[in-house]
Every structure is written in C-alpha cells, then in structure tokens.
Structure 1
Amino acid sequence: MKTINRLLFWISNLKIAIALLFIIAIASALGTTIPQNQAKDVYLNTYNQQPWLGLIKGELLLSLQLDHVYTSAWFLTLLIWLGLSLITCSWRRQIPTLRANLKWVDYLQPQQLGKLALAETFSIPKQTEKLNYLTKHLKKQGWQVKNNQDRLAARKGVIGRVGPPLIHLGIVLLMIGAVWGSLQGEKIERFLAPGRSFDLLNRNGINQLTINLDKFQIDRDQTGRPEQFRSKLELIEPGASKSSFWEISVNHPLRIHGMTIYQADWSLAALTVRIGNSPKLQLPLKSFPELGEQIWGLVLPTSPSGENPLLLTISNEKGPIEVFDEEGNFINNLRPGSEKIEINGLSLQVLDVLAASGILLKRDPGVPMVYTGFAVILLGGSLSMIATKQLWVIKDPNESVIHVGGLSNRNLIGLANELPILLSQAIKN
C-alpha cells in the first residue's frame, strides 16, 4: 500500500507535471519546425546534406521519430503520462478539497475565529435581534446561510471550487481527442485543375464520394497580391440522383459526412500553347524551387534533336511567362492570350495558364472531444475566477458584541473591506 501511495504521489507531483508540459511544448515546436509525414527519402536527402541544427542527420532524425512527432511512441507516452498525472492530482487533491468546501464548518467559540485570516469584533446594541437581520441581509446578497443558536455560518461562491477539477478534466479530454485524431484521423491533399476530379475510397476500396473541381478563382488586389482563393466543388455521391455544388475558400471550409474540406494551397498546373501551326497543346508545369518560391516552369525543345531548348517560367496565372535560353539568358516575355512571337526561329504563342487548387481533406474523429475539452477548460477557468468566501458570526451572550471571522481563497483584502459595510447595512435594518 505504501508503494502505491508513493507511486501516486510521484505521478501527481506538480513539478513533474510542469516538466512534462515543458517537454511536450518543446516536442510540439519540433513538430512545427520539421516537416511532418514526408517520404523517408525527403528526410535522407535533405538532412544528410544539411544536418538539422548541424547535428542530426536524416537517419538519426527518422530513428527518433521526428518525422511524425505527434504520432510517435514517445510523444504519446508523454501525453498519457501527463493525463495520468492530472487525473491522479484531481483524485488525490482537487476532489477532496471540493468535498471539504461543500461541507459546513461550525465554529463554537470566539477563540476559534481568532485563528482565521480575518477576525474582528463589532459592538452591536440589542444583538439578540441582529443575527436575524444579518441572516436576511446576507441571503439578499447571494450568500448561503446556516443558522445555529447564537451563531451563524455563511458562504458565497462555492461553485468556484469546481473550476480546478473541471480544468483538469478538460485538459484530459483535449489530450484524448488529440491522440484519437492522430491515430485514427485521415488527411488527403490533392491539387486539382478545373474539370478534374478524384474519388474518395473507403477501406474496402469502394467509392464513397467523387470531388470534381468545377472552377478555381484567385482574387488579387490592385498590386497583384493574392487576397483569397476560391474553389467551386461538385460533389457526386454514388447512387445520388444529382450532384451538389459548394464553394470553399481560405478560412471557409466545407464540413460534410464527418469530413472537412479546406482550401489549403494553389499552384499552376499547365500552359496551353500553340507552337508554329500546331493545334492547342497543354503542357504540364512543374515547380522550380531552386529558382524561387512559387516558380513553375517547363523546358521546351526548339528542334527535333532537342538542341537549343527554352526555359519558360511563370509565378502568376496572369503572367508574364519569362523565356530563357539554355545558358540562362533572358530572351522575352509572353502574356497569356497575346500574339505569336518568334524565338530562335520558333513561332510560339501562350493561349492560357491553368491554375490548380490545393484541396485538403481531413477526417478527425477526435475533433468533437477536443472541442468539448476546450469548452470544459473555458468553463472551469471562468468558475475559477469566482472567489469563495466564508463567514462565521458568534454573538457574545454577556456583552453587546459579535465576533466575526472570514476566509477567502482570493482577494482577502476585498472581503475585509466588504465586511464592515455588510455588517453596517444589516445593523441599520
């Protein structure tokens, strides 16, 4: 039994809980700094050449599970440990404290009141009737009052004692929801060009929903900077008589069938060009991070042998398309929909730029529990702000005085200033 008590004491130790919170905060920062859930080759190629913090190479990073921090065994262990610490603390300390505060404490002698943090003696003529007046006045002020012969006990704001256990409960619910979502949640990210679609399959490979991008729009300000991204989606459910259309944008996702569809990103998918007298050709673009952030382009040969290729780059769906030779020298600019131009004997016209919408789909079964946890934490925090006040009054049968003692878990000075006013108002009645 002693061993169990020592273990429970160690688990619920405040210093250990604070240390766990500190470690979890550092781990969360690591998960934010290091890209998560990428292919292993990405970490090996990136961090073997440039070790993280100059120390950790790709192999060590993978072995420490830093590529999936939030679902790693050690991170989940920390969360479980912290949850057990909070539950144990509530069971051993918060709940007994709450029960103790719900019980009425009855002081019989004035000497007992003198040991309280707030103790005073007041002269009151005709004190036999004044306790009744004081009882009525306290009840009007929202106090709970319990009368005994020649004494009374009053309390106010006891509900504030419920706050700390609720905060612990909310944090535990939040962590359970986060772990549940990390282990059972699903996340899919796709880049779709208008007119293209993809199917959502269940675990048995059966199509549950087809998402088709009907239209993608980028709203820009007068200087050309993007302000908002909008995607008009067509959702086709198997067996449904007709499809439904919905618009999503940044900070305005769509929630349907327990799934949330976000407008997460954008890119440029293809250039529609005409080379010489050829029909329209749709040439796919690829990202060129070595040329800068959000730069897309393609290499276009100018002869059947592939000699003298041109590099076409673009950073905006409205252009311009910059043309470079194989030496990297700038040649010309092209605008979508402009007339043909002659480059190295090649007639080239850009008809259109096809932008793609980055759509993120998330299914997180732990979200309701996370939201519930936040709500419980907010409720507990609000209740914790309520001061719990306790008051005892004993009348002296031999003298025209009453002895008053009081306690408050916060703002004791406020109670000390309130007490004379409270008693004087009762005396006037």
Structure 2
Amino acid sequence: MGLSIDGLISGQDTTTLINNLIAVEAIPQTLLKGKVTAAQAYTTAVQGLNTQVAALADAATKASKPASYDLYTATSSSGQVTATTSTGAAAGVIDVTVGRLAQNQVTVTGPLSAWPDATLTLTDATGKATVLTPASTSLDDVVSAVNAAGLGITATKVAVGADGFRVQFSSTATGSAAAFTVSGGTVPTTQVKGAQDAQVTLWAGSAAEQTITSGTNTFTNLLPGLDVTVNAVSATPVTLTVTRDDAAISKMAGGLVSGLNDIFAVITNRSAVSTTTDSTGKSVTTAGLFAGDSTIRTVKQNLLSAASMPVDGRSPSEIGISITKSGTLEFDAEKFAAALAKDPAGVMKTVQEISGRVATAAATASDKYDGTLTATITSQQSQVRTMGLEISDWDLRLTAKRSSLERVYTAMESRLGELKAQSSWLTSQINSLPDTYTGSSS
C-alpha cells in the first residue's frame, strides 16, 4: 500500500502524480492485457466452432455406414396388434391371426385360518420341486416364505369374509414355462387361471398354415427385424406391412446438410466486418473474430467441397443437395424423395459417399489430437499463458516503480521540510537582531 504524502510541504497532489507516471509506465502491460482478452475471445469462438465440427464428424461418420440406411417402418391393419422394426428389417407383408394371448397361472387354496402342514412344496413346469418350511403355520409366514424363495411365484393372503382367508399363488411371468403346482398335504387348491403361451397363426386356412407360440404377448423377429405384440384375440387375419422408411432416410440426409449450414453460418457471422459510429460521430470499423483467418477459411472450404463434389461423375444436386450463391448448401426434400423412390440404392450410395467425405474433412479439423482447429486452440492457449506470465512480471515491475517514486517524493518532501525549517530559523534569527541607530552631528 502506497504512502500518503500529498502536499505535506510542497502542496502538490503527489499521489495523482505518481498514479499518472505509473499509468504511463503500464501502457505496454495494458496493451498486453488487451491482447490477452482478444486471444481469449478468439479461443472461445474457435472452441465453439470445434465442438460443432466434431459433432458433425460423428453424425457424418454414422451416416456414411450402410447400416444407417437400414431403416424400415412397420404398420398394422389392427390397433390390437402393434409392430416395430429393428436392425435387420426388410420390406415385406404378412397376415397373422391371433388365437390366444399369453397369461400367467393363478392358483388359490381353500378357506384357511392357518396352514395345516409344516411344509409346502412348489413344483415348476420342468418337474423341479422345492420344499419350503415356513417359520410357523401362520398364513403370513407361509406367504413370506414363498415370496422369499425366488421361484418366480408370489403368494398373497386374501380375506374372504367369514370363511377366513385364502392364499393366492401367482406366477410372475406369463407362458406355459411359468406353470407350477402347489402341494402341502391336506391343503386343497384350485387353479383359477392356467399358464399359457400366446399363439398366432400364419397363412390361416391354407395348406401352409403355421402356428407360432410365445411365452409373452410379443413375438420377436416374426419377420427379420420385426417384433409383433398382440393385445387381443382376432377372428380375422391382421395384415402387417414393413416398408423402407424413406422419411427417416430423407431426414438423415437433410440433417447432414443442416449441420453443415449451421457451421457455415457461425463462420460467416464471425467473419463479418461491421461499421459503427462512435460518440464523436467518427466511423469505427470492427472485424469479426474469424475475419481473414486462413485456418477457418480452409475448414469451411474443405467441408463445402466434401459435400458438393460429384460422386461417380454425378452432381449431388441431382438428388437435391446443391450449393447456393451465398456459399451454403440447400436440401430439396421433394427432389431427394423423388430420386430415392426412383433409385434407392444409388441415392443411398451417394449420401454415404458424401457423408464419408464430410466426416473425413470434419475429423481433419476437429480431431482431439492433431485437428487443425485443435492445434489453433492449443497455440492460442499457450500464447495466453505466456502473456499472463508477462503481465505478472509487469505487476512486479510496476509495484517496484511505485515504491521507488514514493520514496523519491517522500525524500523531496522531507528535504523541502528541512529547507523550510532552516528558512524559518534564519528568518527568526534575523528578526531577533537589534535595530541599528544611525545619528548625525550638529
């Protein structure tokens, strides 16, 4: 903290004087701080662009794989039967008749007040028997023993009025494989609902009629990549249709173009030069962070070329991907859909090729180890660190300079104080001298 020496003797505002001198000395540091601020703003902008380009690289890599176009959608002629597609689906149509739904088994005992036996035995569909020994003949203990056994069977005590209670045993899964029996000596049981598989019939009524069962109400891969879930028995066949999902393929191609245009928009906005007027009416020109940046310009050109160059001698504009006058891309969904309907294999191959080229260009720019944008970010961060050290050195230098100036001005004030004291002493001495009388003779 500086010394307060303002005007002790001289009457000068030495603090302001020192501050002004330090401000002049600090001009190089101030300029350096401005460079740091600019470098940090530029680095942040490049990092944001790099994130976008890296995301594009991932999306384009996915779009370049043939499996990404293995897109199909399924429809059903009945709301009681739903169909979904997964990997490996192919176009096709099939009729199914739902004969029955899957269900779990439910068995109940006769009315009880307590379990009449020391044990009970549960036997699964494979014939495996498990003997349980409850803690007591209490129905609550019997229920607890069954539920803790982990056999895929749950037990519940049900109040039935004056008759006391019944114990209900239920399989947790549906299907015939979940069937079980309960035996416990003298305990009577009744099967309320039997375990059964769901069943559908293909080509019903023909010589090729085929029945298929499932332990659940879902039939997996009924056709390749087609899962069917039944919710009700049907008296008439339900038609399931699998078709290529052209809308999804079009969305993927359009998304690639949109991702490129988003990047181009950022580069264009940050490369723009604007002119404003300051408070004095003078025009001030401000260049965007990316203005004149050859690295950024190269990234944009590489991406644009990757998306617009011909594939097997044919322009991407033939399938609805074209360059605009402003240097961006345009996706014509209707033209793409028409081309896809006419030549699906050719269109998908073209999009895969374009996606692969875009993925390569984007990865070259954004690779986390040697991408051109990554290298730019690393270089800028290194420069900011170096300038930060220089700024810290300037802080030390300016602190030392301030201390030196304060000592100089303190010494000046002290010397002035001594001189003033001497002046006051001399003045007092002179004033103390006797008056000299000069007379004349008569």
Same structural fold, with TM-score higher than 0.5 when normalized by the shorter chain = no
TM range (shorter): under 0.3
Q: What TM-score does the superposition give when structure 2 sets the normalisation length? A: 0.24
Q: What TM-score does the superposition give when structure 1 sets the normalisation length? A: 0.25
- Higher percent of residues as strand: 1
Which has more radius of gyration? 2
- Higher percent of residues as helix: 2
